[in-house]
Amino acid sequence: MKKKEFFQFPCYKFMFLMGIYDALVLPCNGIITGIQVMLGAHYCNSPTLFYFSGVLPCVGFYGVMAVCALLALDRFLEMCFPKIASKAVSGNRAYFWMLFPICFQIYAGFELLCVFNINVYAMNPDPFFLIHGMENNINFNFPKFQRFFVIQDVFIITSLIGLYGGILVVLKFKIKTHNMKSAPKIQKQMTYQAFIICGEMLVAPVIHALMYYIEFPMFVEVFAHLSWISMHGRRISTFVIK
26 contacts 56 by C-beta, under 8 angstroms: no
Tally of CB atoms within 10 A around 78 = 23
Tell me the pLDDT of the chain (242 aa) as tens digits. 555 555 667 777 888 888 888 888 888 888 888 888 888 888 888 888 888 888 888 888 888 888 888 888 887 787 777 788 778 777 778 888 888 888 887 777 666 667 887 777 777 777 777 777 776 766 666 666 677 777 777 787 787 777 777 777 776 676 666 655 555 555 555 566 556 666 666 667 777 777 767 777 778 777 777 777 777 666 555 544 44
Quickly list DSSP for 15-67: HHHHHHHHHHHHIIIIIIHHHHHHHT--TTT-HHHHHHHHHHHHHHHHHHHHH
CA separation for the pair 1, 7 (Å, rounded): 7
Question: b/e per residue, 32-53, with b = 16+ CB within 10 A?
Answer: bbeebeeeebbbeeeeebbeeb
44 contacts 83 by C-beta, under 8 angstroms: no
CA separation for the pair 158, 46 (Å, rounded): 39
Question: Is 4-239 CATH 1.10.12.10?
Answer: no
Q: Is 215 left (phi over 0), alpha (psi -120 to 50) or beta?
A: beta
- Residue 242 is predicted with a pLDDT of 46
E strand segments, the chain: 115-117, 122-124
Angle formed by the axes of helices 47-80 and 99-111, nearest 10°: 150
- Residue 86 is predicted with a pLDDT of 78
Question: b/e per residue, 175-211, with b = 16+ CB within 10 A?
Answer: eeeeeeeebeeebeebbebbbebbebbbebbebbbeb
